[in-house]
């Protein structure tokens, strides 16, 4: 087997390729981390939506029990019976 020495330009090109590859892999990892973090945030927000919907349903049920069927004008703070 014969060993040959690479010239400096070839070594520099290979080192640059290796550095660029490592940078790309690192950046892809960071992006994937951010994606997973956003997905977790999204799941938490979905839970909040469900809690808000339950709260809305409860509030509307209480108002309907108190005032009956009708509409609410929040600007005037009035209930209008149907």
pLDDT per residue rounded down to tens, the chain (82 residues): 999 999 999 999 999 999 999 999 999 999 999 999 999 999 999 999 999 999 999 999 999 999 999 999 999 999 999 8
DSSP at 74: T
Q: Output the pTM of the full model.
A: 0.66
DSSP 69: S
* Residue located via tokens 């349903």: 57
Chain-centre distance for alpha carbon 19? 31
Residue 70 to residues 12, 44, 56: CA-CA distances in angstroms?
Answer: 78, 34, 16
Domains of the chain, by residue range, sit at 8-81
């Amino acid at each position: 087997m014969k060993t040959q020495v690479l010239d400096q330009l070839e070594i520099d090109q290979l080192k640059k390729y290796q550095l660029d590859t490592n940078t790309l892999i690192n950046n892809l990892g960071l992006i994937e981390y951010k994606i997973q973090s956003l997905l977790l945030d999204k799941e938490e927000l979905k839970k909040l939506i469900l809690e808000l919907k339950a709260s809305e349903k409860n509030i509307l049920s209480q108002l309907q029990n108190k005032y009956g069927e009708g509409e609410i004008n929040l600007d005037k703070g009035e209930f209008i019976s149907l």
